[in-house]
Structure 1
């Protein structure tokens, strides 16, 4: 039995090292995915900002300032 103990310990260490390697790889992949997600969110926010600016500008064209409008014909 004493000779089995070092072999069992070595097997456990190898298993733990393998698990650690997989966890490190998963962590790298998650970090990459999070970074890509943040970049995409920033790009989407910029597109939304530009769209809102364009909408505000086009709204201004449709709804002109009443002071600039000519008086109605009955005046």
Structure 2
């Protein structure tokens, strides 16, 4: 496992979420998730077909999120 961090990018204003978690190699394969990926990006089916055997799926297990609505409203959420 390794630490993973990401932040959403607001479409407008300052509302965003910063997340901390652990990146863990998934028990699922790219073929298990192919319908989801291809539902969003139909051309991804070709990528999966060509190089699916070398694609590794990771999950991010979230333990903390900082939710910011605006400069005056921020809250930290922690899961254990």
* TM-score normalised over the length of structure 2: 0.14
Higher share of residues assigned strand? 2
